[in-house]
Each structure stands twice: as C-alpha cells, then as structure tokens.
Amino acid sequence: MVELVFIVPLVAGALAFFMLGRSGRPLLVLTGAVHLALSVYLWVKRPEALFPDYFGVTPEGLLSLIVISLLFFLISIYTQTYLARSAIQSENIFTGSMLLFLSTMTMVTLSDHIMVMWIAIEATTLASAPLIYTHRSAASLEATWKYVLICSVGIALALLGSVLITVAMDVGGVESALSFSSLTEKARGLDPTWLKVGFVFILVGYGTKMGLAPMHTWLPDAHSEAPSPASALLSGVLLNCAYLGIFKTHKIMVAAGLGGFSGMILIVFGLLSILAAATFILRQTEYKRLLAYSSIENMGIIAFGTGVGGLGAYGAILCLIHHSLIKSSLFLTSGNLLLGFGGRLISDTGNLIKEMPRTFVAFFAGFAGISGIPPFGIFIGELFIILGAFRAGHYVAVGLFLLSLCVIFGGFAHHAMRISFEESPKTVEMKESITLVWPQYGLLLTSLILCFWIPDTLYQTIIQAVTIIGGGF
C-alpha cells in the first residue's frame, strides 16, 4: 500500500513519455490529485509497508511527503498555463520527467533502508536532469552538466558514507537490519569512529544535493536554467529530500551519543551556507539566481537549527515546511515574470505593481514570507532556532547567524523593491489568468494558516520527528 504512492507516478511518468503533443498535461494534474489523495490517506492511516525492510512510514518522511504532494498538485495546475504560454520542445519528456521526479522524491520520503534511500536520492538527480535541460540552450546544457556531475560525485560520497556505517556495524558487532529505524534503536553498539567518518561522508554527499556551501555551486545554475515549475520543485522539495537523508543519519548519531559531533558539523556547514548566500545575494543580477541563493540560505538555516537541537530542531522543521511552500510559490511567480518581461535580469523588470498586479501580490507576499517577516512561518521557525541556539550557548554562532540574516534581508529587499516599484523598461501585455496566480496564493495561504493554527496531528508528527534528536519544547 505504501509503495503505491511512488508506483502511481512512476507508471504515469513512463506513460507520459509516449503521449505526444499536449495530451500529457491533464495526466500531470490527475497524477498530482491521486498522489495527494494517497498521501493524505497515508498520513491518516499510517499503514505498514509491503516491504518493511526497505520502506516505512516515518514522521519526518510523512512531513516531507505531504509537502511534496501538495506542492506538486498546485504546481501541476500552474504548469498547464505555463506550458501553453512558453515554447517548450518535446513536452512529453518534460511531463514524463516531472512525474518520474515526483516518483523518486516520494520514494526518498518513504525509504527506510540506508541504501534504498541512496538509490532514491540518486534517482532524483537522474530524473530531474532532463528538466533542467528543457530549454535546450548552451547555458542550460552547462547547468545540466554541472548538476549531474557535481551531484553524482557528491552522492557517490554519500554512498561511501552509507557503506562506512555498515562497517561501523561490523566493527561494533551489531546485528540489525540496515534501516534507519532499527539502526537508531541499536545505535549504542555501533563503532563510534567509523560512524563519525560515515556521517561526515553522508553529510558532504547529501549536503551537495541539499545545497550546503561550499558544495552548492550547481544550485544557482540549475535553478535559474530550469523552467519555473521545475525550479519550484527543485527548490521546494528536492532539497528537503536530501535534507531527509542527513536528518535521519543525524538521528542515528544522536542515538549513538555522538550528537555533539554531528550537531557541531551541521552548525558549521549551516553557517557557511548562510554566509555564502549573504555574499552572493547582495550583488545578484538575475531574479531566479537570487531565489536560488535564498534557498541556499534557508537550507543553511535548517541545517543550523538541526545542529542546535532542542527548540532549534523544531524550528528547523517549521522552516523546512514553510520554505517549501513559500519558495516554490516564489519560483512560480518568477515564471510569470519571465513570461511577462521576457528576460531573466532584474534590470529587465520593474513596476510590477502596475504591470502585473496579481503577480505582484504573490511576489511581495512571498518576499515577505521568505525574509522572515512576522505573519509568515519562517519568522517563527527562525525565532525558535535563535532561542534554541541561545539555550545551547552558541552565542558567537547566533551573532553570525543574525548578522547574515540582516545582510540577506537588506539585499533581498533592495532587489524586491527594484522589481516591484521602479520604472519598468517595457510594458507587459500578458494576461494574468487565474491558474498563473492562484497556485501561488494557495501555497502562501497555506503557509499563513499554518503560522496561526497548526493542526494537532501536524504538531504531533513534528514532535515525533524531532524528539529523538532532543527536539521540542
């Protein structure tokens, strides 16, 4: 039953490759709807997997799954109009890859076996590579090449890390299934040296995919070259999937009593990413790259929060959910900008409030949300992370953290004001149809609602996910 959630889009994706012309578009929405229904079912029932050795329903997996599902459904609606408005060659490859991408990401959230997790994450790279190359230009080719090569090498290191964890089992004499859940239970027996080495490799490996600095170099290229719906998926969900791998390994580390070691590394990588993003956001000239660097920043924040633990871990999960919702809405909005203004540079745009009023609402609300302005969830998440870091006594780290956030806010605000209010080089003659803005509104509204009212089942799931790493209040 559990496996059905990724088998459905897999089959649909395979089918979509053979559907010529526009016939694949309804399939995208249909699969999105079925997937959402199945995910909600999983959330409510939490059934056992058919192959419990390999797959399982875990709280952190469910959180990611429900976000993926919701996002994909809304993005698929947006994609209908986007595809109609933009010229994309061989649409069947695009829709097929989108569905396969969904399938592999779902597999990541549901996998419990260390190696199956690796297979799934590597598969997400392969499924998403054609998406980045959709525009068939030299620049998109370069972005795809970088993406595939850097991520494959990174993930190869994660494979090595996974293998080293099995070595830690051998050396420590632990008899257990090679799944995250059972390893977390028996973590005390694992050999600490090999476990540490394994964690470092896994962090570097999956960290590459998650966009942690200094392994982030592929991310801005890939996000800016992919068509907007694909960028929204890449940024909103793919990064979460990679994070899931790190999070689960971190759980093993904490259970083995090595939480201090892994937490410290996470904090360092998190801060590095935030600092890197702060440096690059200031002098950014393309709006999609701007958003990509903002993703790097948020991944840094999430890694930082996870490393801090306690209240910070709870905040990190909040950030994770809200970042997915808000950032994917922003990437969809950037698709509108591209359709309207016809250029990727910030200087190509301007006076959004007059030219495209509906898009402006989505853009500005998204900007406010991602920058951590109060009514949106990222504010609360960051607040928890800072509180948690203070409680844990990381004063210097918090100082750096706050400083970078201020710089990023300043840089982002500067660019956002430029896009929204300054003179536009040309007038936009694009009709803002409902499907081009309402998916964003839906995502932002979800984030807004979750900020004021968290359903008890969601709250319980988050707490279940973070208790092992000492999260919660």
Among 119, 268, 373, 387, interactor with another protein by CB under 8 A: 119
Q: In the numeric block, which tokens belong to residue 45?
A: 């029932």
Using an 8 Å Cβ cutoff, are 377 and 247 in contact? no
* Residue 123 engages another protein in binding (rule: CB under 8 A): yes
Burial class (CB in 10 A: 0-12, 13-18, 19+), 430: middle
Nearest CB to another protein, comparing residues 331 and 364: 331
Q: Pick left, alpha or beta for residue 57 (phi over 0 → left; psi -120 to 50 → alpha; otherwise beta).
A: beta
Q: Which of residues 347-386 bind another protein (CB under 8 A)?
A: none
Q: Which is nearer to another protein, 167 or 383 (CB)?
A: 167
Q: Which stretch binds another protein (CB under 8 A): 158-166, 252-260, 334-342, 455-463?
A: 158-166
**Residue 133 is a binding residue for another protein (CB under 8 A):** yes
Looking at beta carbons only, is 164 or 448 nearer to another protein? 164
**Of residues 53-92, which lie at the interface with another protein (CB under 8 A)?**
54
> Any contact of residue 93 with another protein (CB under 8 A)?
no
Helix (H, G, I), strand (E, B) or coil at 443: helix
Rank residues 92 and 464 by Cβ distance to another protein and give the closer one. 92
Please identify which residue in 19, 40, 115, 387 interacts with another protein, judged by CB under 8 A: 115
Tokens of 208: 């590459």
Among candidates 437, 426, 424, which has minimal Cα distance to 82?
A: 437
The residue among 359, 374, 364 whose CA lies nearest residue 415 is: 364
Q: Segment contacting another protein (CB under 8 A): 11-19, 118-126, 294-302, 417-425?
A: 118-126
Under rule CB under 8 A, residue 143 binds another protein: yes
Which residues inside 161-190 make contact with another protein, applying CB under 8 A?
163-164, 166-167, 169-171, 178
Residue 169 or residue 436: which is nearer to another protein going by CB?
Answer: 169
Q: Is 160 in the site for another protein (CB under 8 A)?
A: yes
Among 72, 73, 101, 118, binds another protein (CB under 8 A): 118
CA pair distance 156, 160, nearest whole angstrom: 6
Q: How far is CA 64 from the centre of its chain?
A: 9
- Of 8, 74, 148, 215, the one binding another protein by CB under 8 A: 148
User: C-alpha 60: how far from its chain's center?
Assistant: 13
**CB-based contacts of 245: which residues, under 8 Å, 6+ apart?**
108, 117, 118, 121, 158, 202, 206
Q: Which of residues 206-245 bind another protein (CB under 8 A)?
A: 220-221, 224-225
CA distance 99 to 96: 5
The Cα-based distances of 265 to 96, 204, 210, 341 in angstroms read: 38, 10, 15, 43
**Binder to another protein among 103, 125, 249, 461 (CB under 8 A)?**
125
Distances in whole angstroms, Cα of residue 294 to Cα of each of 212, 235, 238, 290: 12, 10, 15, 6
Cis peptide before 229 (omega within 30 of 0): no
Nearer to another protein, 91 or 221 (CB): 221
**In the complex, minimum distance from the CB of residue 324 to another protein, in angstroms, rounded to a whole number:** 25
**CB 2, min distance to another protein, A:** 18
Interacting residues toward another protein by CB under 8 A: 54, 113, 115-116, 118-119, 122-123, 125-126, 129, 133, 138-139, 141-146, 148-149, 152-153, 156, 159-160, 163-164, 166-167, 169-171, 178, 220-221, 224-225, 280
